[in-house]
A and B are shown apart, each in its own frame.
Chain A
Amino acid sequence: MISKDLIIIGGGPSGLCAAKTALESGLSVLIIERNPNVGGQLVKQTHKFFGSKDQYAKTRGFDIAKKLISDLEGFPNLEILTEATVVGLYRDRVVTVLHKDKYVRYQAKSIIVATGASEKFLAFENNDLPGIYGAGAIQTLMNNFGVLPGNDVVMIGSGNIGLIVSYQLIQAGVNVKAILEAAPKIGGYKVHASKVTRLGVPILTSTTVKKAIGDTELKAIEIVSLDEKWQEIPDTSRKMEIDALCISVGLSPMHQLLSMIGAKTKYVSELGGFVPVIDKNYQTTTQSVFVCGDAVGIEEASSAMMEGYLTGIYVSKHLNTAHRKADDLIKYYKEQLDMLRNGPFGIKTKTGLNKLKEGIHDA
């Protein structure tokens, strides 16, 4: 069995950032990544990022991925395993991995679970027709492989992902017929909303999809208006002819691996669902197993990066090989996180984190 100081499960923004500060602390690090390349969701983000320069603001997502990857160059103690899926996690910090049809075992002194999130889906009639996609799949098709998902698309969900992917679809030459939002208000940043509105895409709030129509593939959808209690308003049904439907109704933290080792989780709706209970150092209720990024609460990639840097430092302290600037950096990244969460969009996260803290006392 191969031994490492630290195994990071997931090579997205938070995992890459955690690797950086852990490597700077002198730890040997293995990043295990399911995809053929690291970078996570950043590699398909073609828009310029928000935040301040410390979160690489105004840099396009895929360029941020390149930057985070290049930051790890030159560390001899780093190993990156791609096309590798973690299939088992054990309390003695043994990780079993399926890597290109081979089953491999590793053990580490510490583990960071940086598995990110998975997309939520929506229940409606015929929702399994070909032509109905999650927003992540559409981004992968379009931005990684240059494949258009369809000609006429409707987006379900007006959070930042729904708005951004709509804009990307327009850039790719796809006709976005509408963005539907079940809530009475747009979920994402209004600047993103205004970007698509001025390009002629209507955003229909209090509206959702009722059913998909088509025999072997999507031909149309039936949409309905909703009242303030999210109930269908009678006689508001209308049909839209489309060949692709994109679902972007939120993300759920990927906590499942942590359940394998009995780490305590708690349901916190503000953070996206079940999230691992952590202490102030991002350590789960299982000793030496840490978690950061979307896996511990859905936020923007900017926050995931800051959490990653922090968690790498906390692990180095935990293993008594503290980063030489540990205290300064901890203070700095905590301030960055506080700042990112300091506006109205941060209220939800802060509420969720407070609920999660209560979970520590229950534990």
Chain B
Amino acid sequence: MLNSNGVPTLNQVLSRFPDEKALIRPKAILECYEDIPCNPCETSCPFNAIIIGENINTQPKLDVLACTGCGICVTSCPGLAIIIAQLVGDKAVFKIPYELLPLPKKGEIWLGVNRNGDVICDAKIESILANKKQDHTALITVSVPALWIHEFVTIREKDE
């Protein structure tokens, strides 16, 4: 439970996913489950695809059609609560925020981790974007087996 251990329920997670057809293109998954005073996701989106509105204590809503999956919101969210998800064949491709060192390198195989912090699969690092605008929050593109589309949330380095 989110309130007792910080882990959202599967239903909460699913409520933030568009249907599988929409996931042919990359889409933002907005995992903000609480009314907190915050709106950088909305103001950072170049496509007006994230709607919060006048009262910034409102949870963000995604305009699925307008979202291009660019990932700007991912590194703008102070809560690191946004990932981009896409289904490509038998792979689920994600763009995730990452603020730990060392950064992964392209082509490396890291561990895929779920919202509980458990390792669930291998994760292939597809690309790393770390520019000045992101202000030290790297955007990592990573692919995992498609069946983990609703479970995968971050990566962890493999122990040597």
Which residues from chain A sit less than 8 Å from chain B, CB to CB? 47-53, 57-60, 63, 170-171, 184-186, 189-203, 205, 302, 339-346
Contacts and interface: CB of A to CB of B under 8 A. Distances in A.
Of the listed residues B8, B80, B118, B136, the one surrounded by the most CB atoms of chain A closer than 10 A to its CB is B80
B127 interface: no
Nearest to A300: B37
Contacts of A186: 2-6
Give 7 closest A-B pairs by Cβ, nearest first.
Answer: A191-B79, A343-B57, A193-B6, A200-B117, A197-B6, A48-B78, A58-B40
Contacts of B77: 58, 191
Given A170-B100, A197-B5, A339-B56, A344 B35 contact: yes
A171 B98 CA distance: 10
A203 B5 contact: yes
Given A190-B34, A191-B79, A199 B3 contact: no
B80 A51 contact: no
B31 A194 contact: yes
Contacts of B16: none
A53 B118 CA distance: 35
Contacts of A194: 2, 6-8, 31, 79, 81, 115
A52 B39 contact: yes
B100 A50 contact: no
B37 A190 contact: no
Interface string B69-103: 00000001111110000000000000000011100
A197 B4 contact: no
B37 A343 contact: yes
Contact of A191 (B32, B118, B135): B32
Nearest to A184: B4
A341 B37 CA distance: 8
Contacts of A198: 113-117, 153-154
Nearest to B37: A340
A266 to B, nearest CB: 26
Contacts of B5: 186, 193, 197, 202-203, 205
Contact of B55 (A192, A199, A342): A342
Interface residues of B, number: 43
A50 B154 contact: no
A171 B43 CA distance: 27
B32 A346 contact: no
Contacts of A190: 2-3, 6, 8, 33-34
Contacts of A339: 37, 55-57
16 contacts: A50-B78, A51-B37, A52-B56, A58-B40, A58-B78, A186-B5, A190-B3, A190-B34, A191-B36, A194-B7, A194-B115, A197-B117, A199-B154, A203-B6, A341-B37, A344-B35
A58 B44 contact: yes
Contacts of B135: 48, 58-60, 63
Contacts of A184: 4
B4 A185 contact: yes
Nearest to A50: B38
Given A48-B40, A52-B39, A200-B118, 19 more contacts: A48-B137, A53-B40, A57-B43, A58-B44, A58-B76, A60-B136, A185-B3, A185-B4, A191-B80, A192-B79, A193-B2, A193-B5, A194-B2, A194-B31, A195-B79, A197-B5, A200-B113, A343-B36, A345-B37
A78 B100 CA distance: 40
Contact of A57 (B38, B115, B156): B38
Nearest to B80: A195
Given A170-B100, A339-B55, A57 B78 contact: yes
Contacts of A193: 2, 5-6
Contacts of B31: 191, 194
Given A171-B99, A190-B3, A205-B5, A51 B115 contact: no
Contact of B37 (A171, A191, A346): A346
Contacts of A185: 3-4
Nearest to A191: B79
Contacts of B118: 200
A345 B32 CA distance: 14
Contacts of A57: 38-40, 43, 78
B34 A189 contact: yes
A49 B36 CA distance: 12
Contact of B36 (A48, A189, A195, A196): A189
